Chains A and B, each alone.
Chain A
Amino acid sequence: MLDFDVISPKTSHELFEVISNSQDKNYRFGAGYTDLINDLNNNLQQNLTVINLAKLNDNNFKAININENGVQIGALVTATQLLENNIIQNNYPVLWEATNSVASGQIRASATIGGNVCQASPSGDMSCALVALKAVCEIIDSKGNIREENISDFFRGVKKTSLKKNEILRSIFVPINISKNIKSGYIKVGTRNSMEIAIASIAYHFQKDEQNNVIDAGYAIGAVAPTIVFTKDACDFILGKNINSLNETDVKQFANLIKKYAKPISDIRASAWYREEVLINLSETILK
């Protein structure tokens, strides 16, 4: 049986106070609870306090704000809210498609983007898209100090992030597109169509000039290494190339550069070999 105490701060001020006062306690944050409840059910803990973010009324955490540099997405924005946002759908198809592939409607209504990122699962779908988009995590501590960190650096291992005990993720910043000419999407391969945790996924966001030469490349792979990985060498390779007329050698070379970053494991859903094959085939397909 789950047995823990819950504290529900309503303002940032109350939140910081709760965090400060809890430094010697065993606590977890609860946002949409779709990961946390399963985690706690599988690993019952004593003397646990849950800091409940569901009652927090602060737009820095809750809203999607657009400015001239990009989009600031509050950590408590739910998957459903993201899907209903036209700016996300039109400018960042990779994030929209990844979000639409998360679980089911009932889960998406609760699941937050911050929870997806802080869970640091190698198969987190929204997280994978955010890595391709070169998103930046905005982290705040209980004294109100803010630090920013590239999302790729924020992930430190399976279920591990750079967050310190007195810190919380407040929002995620996605930089504005420098071109309207984009090729952006998310492909997730699982063992069935619905409610599937990825066995391999790719997130791509290429920005092109009018001649279709790549001027900015974002490519991330999920579920094939302990963290989601930004495949920098492959991105550098494709920069300046015309993405609509790549030759066979370029496509192969691109896929090979991606393969370098994959360190897949075998588990009950797929073997390491299969994960890698899927990854290579997907990477080639999107360029053909």
Chain B
Amino acid sequence: MYNMVEINFIINGSKMTKRIKPSTLLVDFIRDDLKLKGTKVGCMEGECGACTIIIDGTAINSCMYLAININGKNVTTIEGLGTVEKPLDLVQEKMIAHGAIQCGFCTSGVVMTTKAFSEKCKNEDKIPTRDEVKKSLEGHLCRCTGYIKIIDAAEAVYKKQ
């Protein structure tokens, strides 16, 4: 057993300090220590995107990231966007409006990627083309929808904001 490491970070707006095993993967830390189960474990190889979360504005795969490297950073998971009690985030609203969800397993990842990309586009004051929208979603696998509705939903986000 190796020495535990202390990390300080912000999760969904709240400051937090934890002690963890140095080799803990971020996805396991989020689900098992923080008990935030909205982030999904899919392939654990960086292929499927189900574990996507946002760190300092950038979408990354939490299965390919050491939890200790969030020290000093700002982490957002799907729970940090909207819930049924709080108003939904625009991305979530559009996903629902376009019927872009079936089983829901890939959904939190897709939402996080679209959220990060939409913030980036907003800052650059640009509306991405459909091809750019597709490219932005290349790191996600969805076995239900056939992607069209997901891409439609994402496009609707960029047009609205």
Contact segment of B61-69, B89-97, B153-161:
B61-69
**B117 on interface, CB distance cutoff 8 Å:** yes
Contact with A along B55-96 (1 / 0, CB 8 A): 000111101111011010000000000000000000000000
- Are B138 and A110 neighbours in the complex by a CB distance under 8 Å? no
Q: Which residues of A contact B5 (CB under 8 A)?
A: 6
CA of A261 to CA of B63 in the docked complex: distance in angstroms?
A: 37
CA distance A271 to B108 in the complex (A): 38
Complex Cα distance, B64 from A103, in Å, reads 13
Chain A minimum-CB-distance residue to B66 = A33
**Which residues of B are found within 8 Å of A54, using beta-carbon distances?**
66, 69
B side interface size, CB within 8 A: 31
Residues of A within 8 A of B61 (CB): 34, 106-107, 110
Q: Contacts A4-B23, A104-B139 hold; do A110 and B2 have CB atoms under 8 A apart?
A: no
Number of A residues, CB within 8 Å of B: 28
**A70 interface residue (CB < 8 Å to B):** no
Q: Is A150 an interface residue (CB 8 A)?
A: no
Q: How far is the CB of A170 from chain B (nearest CB, A)?
A: 20
Q: A33-B64, A195-B47 are in contact. Are A105 and B138 (CB under 8 A)?
A: yes
Q: Which residues of B contact A33 (CB under 8 A)?
A: 64-66
Cβ-based interface call for B127 (8 A): no
Overall SS of chain A's interface? mixed
Pair A103/B2 contact, Cβ less than 8 Å = no
A34, A105, A194 — which one has the most chain B CB atoms within 10 A of its CB?
Answer: A105
Q: Which residue of A lies closest to B61 (CB)?
A: A106
A162 to B61, CA, bound (A): 31
Q: CB-defined interface of A51-81 with B at 8 Å, one 1/0 digit per residue?
A: 0101100000000000000000000000010
Interface residue? A213 (CB, 8 A): no
Cβ < 8 Å to A, chain B residues 86-119: 113, 117
**Chain B residues, Cβ within 8 Å of A105:** 59, 113, 117, 135-136, 138-139
Q: Bound state CA distance, A32 and B69, in angstroms?
A: 10
At the interface, yes or no: A178 with Cβ under 8 Å from chain B?
no
- Give, as a whole number of angstroms, the nearest-CB distance from B1 to chain A: 8
Q: Which residues of B contact A34 (CB under 8 A)?
A: 46, 61, 64
Confirm or deny: B22 has a beta carbon within 8 angstroms of a beta carbon on chain A: yes
Across the interface, which residues of A come within 8 angstroms of B47, CB to CB?
195
A2 adjacent to B25 (CB under 8 Å): yes
Closest 7 CB pairs of A and B: A104-B139, A194-B138, A6-B22, A5-B2, A2-B23, A106-B61, A106-B139
A-B pairs with beta carbons under 8 Å apart, 12 shown? A3-B2, A5-B22, A6-B22, A6-B23, A32-B64, A104-B140, A105-B117, A105-B135, A105-B139, A107-B64, A107-B139, A195-B138
Q: Which residues of B contact A (CB under 8 A)?
A: 2-3, 5, 21-23, 25, 44-47, 49, 52, 58-61, 63-66, 68-69, 71, 113, 117, 135-136, 138-140
10 more A-B contacts (CB under 8 A) besides A6-B2, A105-B59?
A: A2-B25, A5-B2, A104-B138, A105-B135, A106-B61, A106-B139, A107-B64, A110-B61, A110-B64, A194-B138
